[in-house]
């Protein structure tokens, strides 16, 4: 899979459905998240945990979403990972509300981490969470739980401030911001619309909950050849001008525009 911070789409798959693992990996998603949290009922968590530990001990690909560390299931997840030596490609931390939680996982697992912000407290601490440890490679916007906590509607406008806060916090640490899943499965137009708006806000990826969402999201979050050609031309023109402001295609190009073009090229290289 791609480096976590360079992923464009991450596909959730229930950790208690091993028959779906291969299909999820073959979906074309940059990464698969095998889930022990919301997708698995409390009575099934122990069995699902054992399944995933064995799966990752055998060197299989994918990431793993654990339960929140403030729950018995979350403590059991962390203990099982440490005791077994299983090494998922990355670990997704749900409902993170403090930098301390992130440092706890970083210290014991030494694996790339994706911290999900899903509460008002988490949103308040988002910058500290993003900068808690170099192993934090991305922040995810957990819109559904956040909407409940804020007593707000899970719609674009009520959640706009929260999305912006995640994008800002991720930017302070130089890591990726990943958008919430689109929960309506038979709504490709809505999926594309929300993903395009999230991309415009600075998000570089979106979570998916069904393989059919993967293709449209890859299309949206992958720079087009025309975009890359334009970015390369802007950088070249600026360099040729010795770092001075320069005209390109009738527009003035200076530092911030060049930095944006350089970031796009760097993402494409990853």
pLDDT at 253: 67
Strand 176-179 to strand 136-141: parallel, antiparallel, or no bridges (unpaired)?
parallel
With beta carbons less than 8 A apart as the criterion, state whether 239 and 198 touch.
no
pLDDT at 244: 66
DSSP-H helix ranges across the chain: 21-25, 45-57, 72-84, 99-109, 120-124, 126-130, 143-150, 156-173, 188-201, 214-221, 225-240, 255-269
Q: What is the CATH number of domain 4-221?
A: 3.20.20.60
pLDDT at 230: 73
pLDDT at 256: 67
pLDDT in tens, the chain (270 residues): 678 988 999 999 999 999 999 999 999 999 999 999 999 999 999 999 999 999 999 999 999 999 999 999 999 999 999 999 999 999 999 999 999 999 999 999 999 999 999 999 999 999 999 999 999 999 999 988 999 999 999 899 999 999 999 999 999 999 999 999 999 999 999 999 999 999 999 999 999 999 999 999 999 998 877 777 776 777 777 777 777 676 767 677 676 676 676 677 676 666
pLDDT at 1: 63
- Work out the angle at residue 87's Cα, subtended by the Cα atoms of residues 86 and 88, and round it to the nearest 5 degrees: 120
pLDDT at 270: 61
With beta carbons less than 8 A apart as the criterion, state whether 155 and 182 touch.
no
**Phi, psi at residue 86, to the nearest 5°?**
-60, 140
DSSP-H helix ranges across 131-254: 143-150, 156-173, 188-201, 214-221, 225-240
Calpha distance 158→170 (Å, rounded):
20
pLDDT at 115: 98
* 154 burial type by CB count under 10 A (0-12 exposed, 13-18 middle, 19+ buried): middle
CATH 3.20.20.60 domain range(s) in the chain: 4-221
pLDDT at 251: 72
pLDDT at 143: 87
Calpha distance 225→159 (Å, rounded):
32
**Phi, psi at residue 113, to the nearest 5°?**
-125, 140
DSSP symbol at 242: T
Closest-CA residue to 6 (of 195, 222, 214, 201)? 222
Please tell me the number of Cα atoms within 13 Å of 248 on its side-chain side.
21
pLDDT at 258: 67
Alpha carbon dihedral 12, 206, 222, 23, in 10-degree steps, equals: 10
pLDDT at 236: 74
Strand 251-253 to strand 246-248: parallel, antiparallel, or no bridges (unpaired)?
antiparallel
């Amino acid at each position: 899979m791609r480096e976590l911070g360079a992923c464009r789409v991450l596909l959730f798959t229930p950790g208690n459905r091993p028959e779906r693992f291969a299909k999820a990996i073959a979906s074309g998603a940059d990464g698969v998240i095998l889930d022990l949290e919301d997708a698995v009922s409390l009575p099934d968590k122990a069995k699902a945990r054992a399944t995933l530990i064995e799966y990752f001990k055998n060197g299989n690909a994918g990431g793993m979403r654990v339960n929140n560390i403030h729950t018995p299931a979350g403590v059991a997840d962390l203990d099982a990972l440490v005791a077994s030596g299983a090494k998922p490609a990355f670990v997704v931390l749900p409902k993170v509300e403090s930098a301390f939680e992130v440092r706890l996982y970083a210290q014991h697992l030494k694996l790339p981490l994706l911290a999900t912000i899903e509460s008002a407290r988490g949103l308040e601490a988002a910058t500290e969470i993003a900068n808690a440890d170099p192993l934090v490679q991305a922040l995810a916007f957990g819109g559904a739980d956040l909407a409940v906590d804020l007593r707000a509607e899970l719609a674009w406008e009520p959640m706009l401030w929260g999305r912006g806060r995640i994008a800002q916090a991720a930017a302070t640490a130089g890591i990726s911001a990943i958008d919430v899943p689109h929960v309506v499965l038979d709504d490709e137009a809505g999926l594309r619309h929300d993903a395009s708006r999230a991309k415009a806000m600075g998000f570089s990826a979106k979570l998916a909950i069904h393989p059919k969402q993967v293709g449209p999201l890859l299309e949206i979050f992958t720079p087009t050849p025309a975009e890359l050609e334009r970015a390369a031309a802007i950088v070249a023109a600026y360099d040729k001008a010795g770092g001075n402001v320069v005209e390109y295609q009738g527009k003035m190009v200076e530092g911030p525009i060049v930095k944006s073009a350089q970031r796009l090229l760097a993402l494409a290289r990853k």
